Amino acid sequence: MLRMICNAPRRSAILALLMIAASAPAATVGQWTRLPNAPDGISTMLMMTDGTVLAQSNGGSAWYRLTAGPDGRFADGTWSRRASMHDTRLYYASTVLRDGRVFVGGGEYGTGGSSVEIYDPTADAWSYVPGWSGDIGDSTGLTLADGRVLLLPRLWSSATVWNPVDGSWTVTGGRPTWNDEESAALLSDGSVLVTMTNGGSTRYLPWTNEWVDAGTPPANLIGHGEEVGANVLMYDGRVLAIGASGATDLYANGTWTTGPRLPDGAIADDAPAAILPNGRVLVAGDLQEFGAPTEMFEFDPATDSFTRAPTPFGAQAQEPVFVERFLVVPSGEVLFADGGSAVFAYTPTDGPSEAWRPAIATLAANGDGTAHLVGARLNGLSSGAYYGDDAQMASNFALVRMTDATGTVRYARTFGFSTMGITPGDTQSSCEIAFGGIPDGRYALAVVANGIASATIGVDIRGGAYGTGAVDGGTFTGASVPGTALPVGQGERVTVTMHNAGGTTWTAGAGYALVADDATWGVQAVPLASAVPPGADATFDFTIVAPQAPGTYAFQWRMAHAGVRFGDASPVLGIVVIQADVRGDGTGLTGEYWSAQLAGFVGAPTLTRVDALVEFDWGGGSPDPAVSSDSFSARWSGQVLAPRSGTYDFSVIGDDGVRLWVNGQLIVDAWYDQGPTAHDGRIELQAGQRYDAKLEYYEHGGGAVARLHWTLPGANESSIVPTAQLYPASVTSGGGTGLTAQYWSNQLAGFAGAPTVTRVDPTIDFDWGGGSPDQTVSSDAFTARWTGQVLPPTGGAWTFTVTGDDGVRLWIDGALVVDAWFDESPTDHSATVQLSGGVKHDVRLDYFEHGGGAVARLWWQSATTPARAIVPQSALFPVGSGIASGTGLAGQYWSDQLATFNGAATVTRIDATVDFDWADRGPAEGVSSDLFTARWTGQVLAPTTDAYTITVTGDDGVRLWIGDLLVIDAWYDQSATAHSATVRLTTGQRANLRLDFYEAHGAASARLHWSTATMADQAIPTGNLFPATPAIAGPALPTGNG
């Protein structure tokens, strides 16, 4: 067992070889999603403290609100109108205040170049700010840590600070040059770094109201028109200054260093940038001055390098970069607006470092329904999105996300921030939370800063108010889990210990439990054994069951209260699941002994028996009184069953000579006199398959030793090859009845539709002359197919010969070994293959007759049967489950559900095939024509062993599992679209099958087809489909997806 210990209640790093959650994100880029129904002209976007987005219509006075979807993602959000400003503005200062209101000032274009307005989201109203006069233009504005607003009016050689408490304006000290096209970033110490158009930089110190020199960036950042790009405060504390020249510089602790250039000659002349939750920086640039197209890049501070990222419009964005804006939202997405007709959401890969997450310390009721929140890193480690003098979209303030037991996400409103500054480290800050509009219920509350969420705590909301003062909190303390790989299906006891870090007592009756995200390990919730008061630990002792497919699976748990998850999760561990060892029922190997023969095997053996093991030390004696004590030979033969797949190391210990063959390969050859010596041989074997094995031995004189050992794949020590894995060479062919035969009349080299005749042919030894196989089959232009298995009596090289007039093709174990698919007179075609004796091998023979004589014969021969002979009936076995014995799949239909499978199905039936085009109708009486889901479950039986192309056509979403493997995943709205996957199916073996489908609106169709290299595409026939009884649920799915 692997034991992990953390000191409760604080979290600490877990050092474990199996841990798969890494603190350093991998350098991979994200993807874009277009937001539906976005208003035209969206430009500047501001994150509001109630979790919505306020977005301006480009250059006008109109504003819109974007509200996240039920899953908390803004790509699924909805738009609504908000009140309009008094003035129109384009390229202006904008920032959010500590009480949640919005400050906007100036504008390079529009009627508001000399005015300042405030937006109150609770009243949905704009008002002018009194006391200001003069031009502001395209200027920079940002909220300082103390809540005042720093404004840099255009062409001023100083700046002004507005105090929202008393409405006063204060002019700052002077600057080395006037304000124009500068870029600013709020630093973690509360100062403001500005890169200026004279090529230098300066810092504003709010505590002294003065500007100080910050040095000269080494690489020139200034481009045409004295433009610069964004200054981005990164999570490592450095500032990435992006230039309109294409150069970048890095600022840290008063020192500038040169950064990498933007790739491919790109420049950032008035361009947006945003810090991603994974710590990288999304940067937009264009290839010409104020001209399209735009390209996107990610900057990785771990390597100080850029990687090309996709653009929202595909190859390249269609607008110049200066009209575009970014905004970091609490879902971790970055919104992109092009000032035209489109808004997109960028979803980055990877997650944040744990050290960047906000941490909740306390949540206390204020007595008026609001709550007082205290914690660390509540505002985040950066301002989020950046631009320059034309737009500011800072979001360095705490947002509060509320998730109920169904997974629905809502946001409470935050206000009254103790600081509006950057909050790195463990220094605590606070804010107030209002819960108005939040429905009554239990919620997991998380603080989110720039898309990075804290661990959750559990809270109750009643009447839009929080008033209990007690919250659920939990931290991981330790666990004991398997330290080695688990075989599939094996149960294993584990423990997980959680610390009650909240203010409530955990009890089973109140719905407290340890939960996982899904039932991967056979259990999703573990109840409490006893009450756990605040400050105490709860140890959950339970059994997990390894999944049924090999792989590495995540093991992670957290606490939940009434279905709402809260607190820290345990570290993500990757537990390796391997294929369970295949245990045989063998009895040993056939042992043959020749007396008075030195290294020879002449004539009949003196003694024949079955030896349970080859594990002998006869000393100076012999194997049997009938065998001489010296100068004897022995041979053990039969088959060995591989318990697992991989590389096997066989070891033969011999005194004297030994040699070993496995699967026809000589892997040990030590055919000489010697004392007891180990000789090793290596070979790859597949689990569950028997392989021919032969061990030869001779004893010259003195001691006599013969042992057969192996080291299994993944094992560290060798062991005796056990009796159960050994089968004596006494298996002979017999009991066969022939091959399944199918005949198609009036088809030349084709196999379309159902066969005219299906039967079992004892052998394939036909000369029909000018006739036909059956009175219902035409004498010319017919085809035939024989399928089943062949059982050779011994292992080794077998030569198969097909005689055909006309075309013939032969497959053995899925491999095409004879291909003579053309007209011909009776002709022999041969192929030699290695077969295991006593093991059934798949066989398929295709044949067509064009005209004239008709001949089809199947022969074989081997070294032990030198004369060619027709493959006998006793060695031929038809397809095990017969032809057309299936009845279809279990079909379940849920009415009025979109992509979910909640409750009992509306209709359950057996569908002979899945080949439906319902158009605009429902699939059955009582099922709606739109907004319905369906699930078909059962098994599929392949007629032959082959690679099958499975095609699912869906309008709308479809997903298909074969076995436990999700092979097709197209779970989204679409017109009728075909999706294919290739899987290998084995004749006679049914494979579990599950097909999920949902219909949103409009036409509805669902089809399940298959094809192979030799079989045309067709609906999987009824006879090859077997319904689940009762309908099976199939592999576990994420919550809410069925």
What backbone phi and psi angles, to 5 degrees, belong to 874?
Answer: -65, -20
pLDDT class of 900 with cuts at 50, 70, 90: confident
Contact yes or no for 374/428 (Cβ under 8 A): yes
Tokens at 126, concatenated = 């704009």
The fourth-level CATH superfamily of domain 476-578 is Immunoglobulins (2.60.40.10)
Contact yes or no for 268/243 (Cβ under 8 A): yes
User: Helix (H, G, I), strand (E, B), or coil: what is residue 917?
Assistant: strand
Contact yes or no for 11/23 (Cβ under 8 A): no
pLDDT class of 397 with cuts at 50, 70, 90: very high
The pLDDT, as a whole number, for residue 282 is: 96
Can you give the residue ranges of every domain in the chain?
32-354, 355-474, 476-578, 589-725, 739-878, 889-1027
Q: Residue 847: name the closest of 864, 874, 876, 824 by CA.
A: 824
pLDDT(659) > 70 = yes
What backbone phi and psi angles, to 5 degrees, belong to 721?
Answer: -65, 120
* Weakest-pLDDT range from 230-244, 740-754, 961-975: 740-754
Provide mean pLDDT across the span 391-417: 94
CATH of 739-878, one of 3.90.182.10, 1.10.3720.10, 3.40.50.2000, 3.30.830.10: 3.90.182.10
H/E stretch holding 713 reads: none
The alpha carbon torsion through 169, 171, 177, 179 (nearest 10 deg) reads 0
pLDDT class of 968 with cuts at 50, 70, 90: very high
pLDDT class of 8 with cuts at 50, 70, 90: very low
> Which long-range CB contacts under 8 A does 61-65 form with residues at least 24 apart?
61/85, 61/86, 61/87, 61/88, 61/89, 63/119, 64/39
H/E stretch holding 425 reads: none
Region 355-474: CATH code = 2.60.40
The model's pTM is 0.56
> What is the spatial distance between Cα 739 and Cα 754, in angstroms, rounded to a whole number?
18
Between residues 607 and 698, which one has the greater pLDDT? 698
CA angle, residues 5, 7, 9, in degrees to nearest 5: 130
Between residues 734 and 660, which one has the greater pLDDT? 660
pLDDT(1030) > 80 = no
Interval 433-448: pLDDT, tens: 999 989 988 888 999 9
Tokens at 999, concatenated = 């219909």
One-letter identity of residue 753 = G
Q: Residue 338: name the closest of 272, 254, 409 by CA.
A: 272
Residue 1020 burial (CB count, 10 A): 24
User: Helix (H, G, I), strand (E, B), or coil: what is residue 286?
Assistant: strand
> b/e string for 619-652 if b means 16 or more Cβ within 10 A?
eeebbeeebbbebbbbbbbbbbbbbbbeebbbbb
Residue 1035 burial (CB count, 10 A): 18
pLDDT class of 15 with cuts at 50, 70, 90: very low
Provide mean pLDDT across the span 704-716: 89
> Which CATH architecture group holds 32-354?
7 Propeller (2.130)
Region 889-1027: CATH code = 3.90.182.10
Please report where in the chains the tokens 């006309």 appear, as a residue.
806
User: Mind spelling out the 3-state secondary structure of 49-66?
Assistant: CCCCEEEEECCCCCEEEE
Please report where in the chains the tokens 């820290």 appear, as a residue.
568
Contact yes or no for 511/504 (Cβ under 8 A): no
Contact yes or no for 384/143 (Cβ under 8 A): no
Please report where in the chains the tokens 């000369």 appear, as a residue.
767
pLDDT(1037) > 60 = no
The reply to whether 355-474 and 476-578 are identical in fold is yes
> What is the spatial distance between Cα 836 and Cα 841, in angstroms, rounded to a whole number?
8
> What is the spatial distance between Cα 434 and Cα 424, in angstroms, rounded to a whole number?
25
Contact yes or no for 92/104 (Cβ under 8 A): yes
Tokens at 783, concatenated = 């085809």
pLDDT(774) > 80 = yes
The pLDDT, as a whole number, for residue 881 is: 35
> What is the spatial distance between Cα 977 and Cα 537, in angstroms, rounded to a whole number?
53
> Which long-range CB contacts under 8 A does 190-196 form with residues at least 24 apart?
190/144, 190/145, 190/146, 190/421, 192/142, 192/144, 192/150, 193/231, 193/239, 193/251, 194/140, 194/152, 194/231, 195/221, 195/228, 195/231, 195/241
Between residues 608 and 953, which one has the greater pLDDT? 953
* DSSP for 812-854, written as a single string: ETTEEEEEE-S--SSEEEEEEEEE-TT--EEEEEEEEE-SS-E
Report how far Cα 1018 is from the mean position of its chain's Cα atoms.
31
Interval 249-308: pLDDT, tens: 999 999 999 999 999 888 888 899 999 999 999 999 887 776 678 889 999 999 999 999
Beta strands 537-545 and 573-578 are unpaired
Report how far Cα 899 is from the mean position of its chain's Cα atoms.
19
Region 589-725: CATH code = 2.60.120.1560
pLDDT class of 586 with cuts at 50, 70, 90: confident
Provide mean pLDDT across the span 973-997: 88
Q: Report the mean per-residue pLDDT for the chain.
A: 87
Contact yes or no for 274/327 (Cβ under 8 A): yes
The pLDDT, as a whole number, for residue 497 is: 94
Q: Residue 117: name the closest of 147, 95, 148, 140 by CA.
A: 95
- Kindly tell me the burial class for residue 595, based on how many C-beta atoms sit within 10 Å of its own C-beta (0-12, 13-18, 19 or more): middle
Tokens at 962, concatenated = 């074969």
pLDDT(811) > 70 = yes
